[in-house]
Amino acid sequence: MEVGRDFINTPPVKTVRFGDTVVNTLAKLKQGDTSDYEMIKHQLSDPDIKDAQIINWLQEFRTCVTQLGKDHEQLIYVVLRLPWLGRTQAVVDEYLAFLSNLVSAQTVHLRPCLKMVVSNFTPSEIFEHCHQALQMIARYVPSTSRFLMPILTENFPFVQKSPRTLECYVHNLLRITVYVPALRKDVLELIVSKMLALDVSAPRSEIEEVESSGEQDQGGKAHDDFLFDMDEDSAVTSPTGLHSSAMLHPVAERLDTLMGVLLAFVKDMCHVNGSLDTEKAKALYRDLVGVFDRLVLPTHASCHVQYYMFYLCSFRLGLAEAFLDHLWKLLQNPSQPPITRQASASYMGSFLARAKFLPVATVKACLDLLVSWLHLYIDSQDSGLKAFCDVSLHGPFYAACQAVFYTLIFRHKAILEGSMKAGLDYLQRLNLERIVMCRLNPLKVCLPAVTNMFAAITRKYQLVFCYTIMERNNRCVLPVVRSSAPAEDEDDFLHGQTPQGDMVMGGTPGSYEAHLASPSSMGSPPIAFLQRRF
């Protein structure tokens, strides 16, 4: 019959529910009757559940949240899995009201509620409602931040996930810090640690090779134009699943995406209506420099992640000078591990050499500090029993020498501009000859590319004649003396295997241009930007 065929092929209108009310069902459960309890869980798990049904269920649960203790974890788990995102506003409002009642009355369910919200930080979901839920929970439960951070860490996508998945998750983590500021430093630390894992897994030379072999003109909007302010409801991926400006190297593309999100966040947090907010910038600087010390400085073979710090410093000279002062204090502090002191010198040299927004006065002030420290070090060592070329004994000294040489390679023209005589007088007062000629023999340890360029420049201006020492070093077939075997990373650092900025990467100065020319220059995708501009 026609009637029978329609009945079979047409799904029923879901206006009917089975079993008793939630209140009565909970009462029956106490008496050992589980039939209605299981029926409720089954109905809540229906993939075809309608909006009206969700609203009715949630309204019932709200009337008895005080009874939904730890014994009802399974039921709460099913309720939390209700498909509330992407539904009508009435469903969203009712669901948020249920969450607020639940966490207020039963904090035992706080972690499951937080896990549910965080699990929806995926490209397919609408983020706005998730953040409404988290803000509401944080308002009702002051201890939310203590429980939320471990959940954010546990749910961080594997770094080999798609760039879009990583982008969405990191974007949402950073957005949380806006309304839960107590988590900002921990969130930044989590993000930077994941970015470092990507950074060290893809050597810069490998990225350059892949990009140069298949380079193509890819237009597209600059990352910091839209990433942090992106509209989650309309954000979509390209047909390939990547941005239109996707890099060819897969790891570089993931890192590039995360760098874009982080730099956009840094810019947004430091500016109000397009103008720099000094106090906000200082507060963010304190958080980011702490992350830099804890994660970036000790990391071997990091090439790109550290630029978040350089970018922040480009907003205001005071920030840049504070960062240089911080690195200087680490370098000269004998209680710091040698590798930390060496890395600090490396970053200091790279920053002074390449940050074009730094005025010459700042560069000269830092050179004065470094050179004075080198002369004092020579005074304390040059006539002692340890006055020989030994990387393990004098690592910070050699790193500081290389920082000075590298800075002069890039900034000597700026120092000499205006008045050649005054500039030469300044360079001669540095007494570079004493550093070069000392028994510690820094030219033997520093990178050949840096040594060669430094020798050519100092010869041109008749400051130091390095070639005699370099030729003697080249004739020497014996290895550099070591009183004890240095740590592998320490030795690699001084021989250019630890890319802490350009200085220790062994790149020749002429191969990079316009390093940190201006804050606005960071608008394009970060790694692609580095390939073109650094």
In tens, the pLDDT along 336-395 reads 999 999 999 999 999 999 898 999 999 999 999 999 999 999 998 866 666 777 788 899
Mean pLDDT score, 26-48? 92
Say whether pLDDT at 528 is over 60.
Answer: no
256 vs 166: CA distance, rounded Å? 11
Amino acid at 511: S
Give 166's contacts (C-beta < 8 A, 6+ positions apart): 157, 159, 194, 254, 257, 258
Ramachandran category for residue 215: left, alpha or beta (phi over 0 → left; psi -120 to 50 → alpha): beta
Per cent of the chain over pLDDT 90 is: 67
151-203 pLDDT per residue, tens: 999 999 998 999 999 999 999 999 999 999 999 999 999 999 999 999 999 88
Query: H/E element holding 184?
Result: helix 184-201
Residue 147 CA to residue 186 CA, distance in Å, equals 13
Asked if 179 contacts 138 with a C-beta cutoff of 8 angstroms, the reply is yes
pLDDT tier for residue 94 given thresholds of 50, 70 and 90: very high
Q: Higher pLDDT residue, 438 or 523?
A: 438
The pLDDT value given to residue 98: 96
Cα–Cα distance for residue pair 96/62, rounded to 1 Å: 11
Within 10 Å of residue 91's Cβ, how many Cβ atoms?
Answer: 22
CA 291-295-301 angle, to 5 degrees, is 135
User: Mean pLDDT, the chain, as a whole number?
Assistant: 83
Instruction: Say if residue 497 is exposed, middle or buried (CB neighbours under 10 Å; 0-12, 13-18, 19+).
Output: middle
Share of the chain above pLDDT 70, in %: 79
In sequence order, what are the residues at sequence separation of 6 or more whose Cβ sits closer than 8 angstroms to the Cβ of residue 468? none
Would you state the structure tokens that stand for residue 471, as one six-digit string?
């030729």
Query: What SS3 class is residue 188?
Result: helix
Rounded to whole angstroms, what are the CA distances from 4 to 7, 14, 16, 302?
5, 19, 21, 70
Tell me the pTM.
Answer: 0.81
Read out DSSP for 275-330? EE-HHHHHHHHHHHHHHIIIIITT-TT--STTHHHHHHHTT-HHHHHHHHHHHHHH
**Selected residue with higher pLDDT from 386 and 130:** 130
Q: For residue 488, is pLDDT > 90? A: no
Residue 465 has, within 13 A of its CA and on its CB side, a CA count of: 2
User: Which comes out higher in pLDDT, residue 34 or 522?
Assistant: 34
pLDDT range class, residue 523, cuts 50, 70, 90? very low
Compute the distance between CA of residue 458 and CA of residue 412 in angstroms, rounded to an integer: 10
Question: What is the per-residue pLDDT for 230?
Answer: 38
- Per the structure block, which two tokens stand in for 176? 């949380």
- pLDDT-derived band of residue 521, with 50, 70 and 90 as boundaries? very low
